[in-house]
């Protein structure tokens, strides 16, 4: 089977476009395959230091006009339980950084990445993948619009229901939470002071992440029936409920744009590479919106992919390259999946020893400086 390209990236979201640019930067002949872009995504992504490093390297960072710095991260135990943790605030300056990262609108991020792809002349095929044939030396993709494309390596960045992952025979482990997330952007009268704040409640976190000016993005995780009620509230009633639950931290609040609701679930692929295919982003793992891990972990996938690619002219889909990618991602993805899952479940449990352990952990993070610094460095660890 002949290969038209060294690498084909299937998917044109933030992870897929970044993967295409990273592979091109490493000297490989790359194309992108994806259906037409959908409606603009007004949600935001809190991108930590490693993700910013990647975006700088592939040339997209300077094209982002609006990016709000996160100079501090605050955790407030807003439960009404017997064991409550102290309020903890982490400052980027404690580890010698001006900020932990930046909050960016997803639509703006995709705009910047698309501009980079166009500037570098990467071919883009507007089509979905209708089938995939894997042979020892190449992969052939059958496009829904007709025709085929061949590559020595396929990067699956086509989301949690990835057709490429399924065609490669990679299974997944999925789970659901009895929670939903209400997502909206807010305007407010009090300054956020570049601080991201997470209120921990018995049903999940209520998180405010700075946007530019007196604006913030909000993710409110709660039981599905409570979230459904809030989705139907008029703007004044919803804004009043947010003010009350956040103890008026941001002053008077108004809803700034549409609100969206997402059921919470998780997914991890059984493998991250197989059969001349590697998985990145939500094709590999799905997280609840807790701890800013979702897209940041996807960008760690992209950086790891770049690190295992051979020199131009060599086979990027060779077995040793796939094995190297699998090794590089397994421990990172599984450990972060376990951490986010455990954090969420400790909020939901009524088991007193677990509540006490969570409170003790936050107390130690508040008081033990080496532990604080180690945790912060791990959170913003630079991608390779």
pLDDT digits (tens, 9 = 90+) for 141-187: 999 998 899 999 999 999 999 999 999 999 999 999 899 999 999 99
User: Residue 120's pLDDT band (boundaries 50, 70, 90)?
Assistant: very high
Q: What domains sit in the chain, N to C, each tagged with a CATH number?
A: 5-67+106-174+265-348 (3.50.50.60)
Cα 67 from Cα 17, distance rounded (Å): 19
Strands (E) located in the chain: 5-10, 30-34, 44-48, 68-70, 72-77, 88-91, 101-105, 124-126, 129-134, 139-143, 148-156, 172-188, 195-201, 204-210, 215-222, 253-255, 260-269, 273-274, 277-279, 285-286
User: Residue 372's pLDDT band (boundaries 50, 70, 90)?
Assistant: very low
Predicted confidence (pLDDT) at residue 31 exceeds the cutoff of 50 = yes
pLDDT of residue 149: 94
Q: 32 versus 77: which is more confidently predicted?
A: 32
pLDDT of residue 377: 58
For residue 51, give both structure tokens. Answer: 């993700």
pLDDT of residue 352: 36
Q: How far is CA 291 from CA 51, 72, 101, 235, 286, in A?
A: 14, 14, 13, 27, 13
For residue 80, give both structure tokens. Answer: 């009404």
DSSP three-state, residue 45: strand
C-alpha angle with apex 162: 306 to 258, nearest 5 degrees?
A: 95
pLDDT of residue 360: 41
Predicted confidence (pLDDT) at residue 129 exceeds the cutoff of 80 = yes
Lowest mean pLDDT among 79-83, 87-91, 266-270, 338-342: 79-83
User: Residue 339's pLDDT band (boundaries 50, 70, 90)?
Assistant: confident
C-alpha angle with apex 223: 218 to 226, nearest 5 degrees?
A: 75
pLDDT of residue 125: 95
User: Residue 338's pLDDT band (boundaries 50, 70, 90)?
Assistant: confident
Predicted confidence (pLDDT) at residue 82 exceeds the cutoff of 70 = no
Mean pLDDT calculated for residue range 357-380: 49
Predicted confidence (pLDDT) at residue 362 exceeds the cutoff of 60 = no
Lowest mean pLDDT among 40-54, 99-113, 327-341: 327-341
Predicted confidence (pLDDT) at residue 326 exceeds the cutoff of 60 = yes
Mean pLDDT calculated for residue range 290-302: 83
What percentage of the chain has pLDDT greater than the value 90? 68
Predicted confidence (pLDDT) at residue 354 exceeds the cutoff of 70 = no
pLDDT of residue 197: 92
Predicted confidence (pLDDT) at residue 364 exceeds the cutoff of 70 = no
pTM here? Answer: 0.89
User: Residue 80's pLDDT band (boundaries 50, 70, 90)?
Assistant: low
């Amino acid at each position: 089977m002949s290969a038209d390209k060294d690498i084909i990236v299937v998917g044109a979201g933030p992870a897929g476009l970044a993967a295409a640019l990273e592979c091109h930067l490493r000297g490989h002949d790359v194309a992108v395959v994806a259906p037409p872009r959908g409606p603009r995504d007004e949600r935001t992504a809190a991108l930590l230091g490693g993700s910013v490093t990647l975006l700088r390297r592939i040339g997209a960072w300077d094209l982002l006009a609006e990016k709000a710095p996160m100079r501090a991260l605050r955790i407030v135990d807003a439960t009404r339980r017997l064991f409550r943790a102290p309020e903890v605030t982490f400052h980027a300056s404690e580890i010698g950084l001006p900020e932990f990262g930046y909050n960016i609108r997803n639509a703006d991020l995709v705009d910047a990445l698309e501009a980079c792809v166009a500037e570098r002349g990467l071919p883009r095929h507007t089509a979905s993948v209708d089938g995939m044939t894997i042979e020892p030396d190449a992969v052939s993709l059958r496009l829904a619009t007709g025709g085929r494309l061949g590559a020595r390596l396929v990067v699956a960045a086509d989301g949690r229901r990835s057709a490429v992952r399924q065609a490669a025979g990679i299974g997944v482990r999925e789970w659901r939470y009895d929670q939903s997330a209400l997502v909206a952007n807010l305007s407010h009268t009090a300054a956020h002071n570049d601080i991201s704040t997470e209120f921990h409640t018995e049903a999940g976190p209520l998180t405010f992440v700075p946007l530019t000016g007196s604006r913030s993005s909000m993710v409110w995780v709660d039981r599905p029936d409570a979230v459904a009620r809030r989705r139907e509230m008029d703007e004044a009633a919803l804004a009043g409920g947010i003010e009350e639950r956040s103890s008026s931290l941001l002053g008077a609040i108004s809803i700034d744009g549409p609100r969206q609701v997402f059921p919470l679930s998780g997914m991890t692929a059984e493998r991250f590479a197989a059969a001349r295919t590697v998985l990145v982003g939500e094709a590999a793992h799905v997280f609840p919106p807790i701890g800013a891990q979702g897209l940041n972990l996807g960008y760690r996938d992209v950086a790891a992919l770049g690190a295992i690619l051979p020199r131009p002219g060599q086979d990027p889909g060779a077995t040793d390259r796939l094995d190297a990618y699998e090794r590089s991602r397994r421990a990172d993805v599984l450990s972060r999946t376990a951490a986010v899952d455990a954090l969420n479940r400790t909020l939901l449990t009524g088991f007193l020893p677990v509540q006490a352990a969570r409170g003790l952990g936050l107390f130690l993070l508040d008081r033990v400086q080496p532990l604080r610094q180690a945790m912060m460095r791990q959170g913003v660890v630079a991608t390779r």
